[in-house]
Structure 1
Amino acid sequence: MRWTPHATVACIVEQEGRFLLVEEMAGGKVVINQPAGHLERGESFVAAARRETLEETGWQVEPEALLGMYTYFAPSNGVTYHRFCFIARAVAELPDASLDEGIIRPLWLTRDEMEQHRAQLRSELVTRCVDDYLAGTRYPLDFIQETV
């Protein structure tokens, strides 16, 4: 059988020390994650980051940098995820936006508040990505070469 990792995107969106997150149902539990999701056929990584953030939070964002590329093996389902995590600027909230199925609500939490909810974090990538962001990690968007 062929191994097929899942290509995903996520966004770090920070305003005044708070980070845009989502509270969602996953595996029958309420978890907290960055706005994140899978690429669709023919979609660029940057376009997927914009789309997923809007669909999960009701916020339009503009990716400004690549934070990093992360590999995560999920013990709960045996899937390996390759996450392209972006740093994005909040552009506008669309209060009437319809959120994806399974999304409970968007949240704005500080890094300390995330720590208080550690047991609810979908994976260790939630705080790892925020910590990398806070450490100043940044790569230009043109680091990703796409012919979509």
Structure 2
Amino acid sequence: MMKVMVFLFCYNEYMSMSQSEWEASIQRVGVVVGSLVKRDGKYLLVKENPNGKDVYNLPAGHVDKGEQLEIAAVRETKEETGYDVQLIEQFALYHESAPQSVKHVFLAEIIGGEEHAQEGEILEVVWQTFDEIAEHEKAGRMRAPWVFDVIGKLENRS
């Protein structure tokens, strides 16, 4: 019951905010969603350059004000990769304290769309094996530690 009450409190608090207040709160506590897609032994990743360094990430992004987590995950995947996905399950949840953020990762499958990288934000859409991703992790080319961790969890589950 406590979890439901906390969620309702947060939801009501956010829904009463203006757009600028919502954006400021997202910067304080980021709510991020990502889609984990595996097909034919390879994982769907996006190549980004957020701070002048090429890194790999899941298709992911922030939740818009009033948006459901699942809808945000589908939207972000479409925007970044061109693919339409269907979510299978909420697969993992991560919390980071610096900067403060919560990441919801959904297991998903492609149901349509055509591959293309989001102009201006995504350098490339790539499909890579776990071994290739492990090499990126060793070389410091993953966007964040949780990205490799969640892929490893699915790899170990298979």
Q: What TM-score do the two structures reach when normalised by structure 1?
A: 0.81
Task: Give the match for residue 143 of structure 1.
Answer: none
Measured in 1, the distance between the counterparts of 2:128 and 2:147 equals 12
Task: Give the match for residue 129 of structure 2.
Answer: 110
Q: Which runs of 4+ in 1 moved over 2 A?
A: 134-137
Highest RCO, 1 vs 2 (Cα 8 Å, sep ≥ 6): 1
Q: Are positions 1:133 and 2:154 aligned together?
A: yes
Matched residues, number: 131
SS in 2 for 1:114: helix
Query: What's the CA shift for 1:134?
Result: 2.4
Counterpart amino acid of residue 83 in structure 1: K
- Which residue, 81, 89, 106 being the options, matches 1:57? 81
SS in 2 for 1:23: strand
Q: Are positions 1:26 and 2:50 aligned together?
A: yes
Classify 1:123/1:129 alpha carbon distance in 2 versus 1 (closer, same or farther; 3 Å): same
Q: Are positions 1:81 and 2:81 aligned together?
A: no
The structure having more radius of gyration, on CA atoms, is 2
Measured in 2, the distance between the counterparts of 1:59 and 1:100 equals 14
Q: Percent identity?
A: 29
Higher percent of residues as helix: 2
Q: What TM-score do the two structures reach when normalised by structure 2?
A: 0.76
Q: Which sections of structure 1, spanning at least 5 residues, go unmatched?
A: 138-148
Query: What's the CA shift for 1:98?
Result: 6.4
Q: Are positions 1:35 and 2:59 aligned together?
A: yes
Counterpart amino acid of residue 120 in structure 1: R
SS in 1 for 2:112: strand
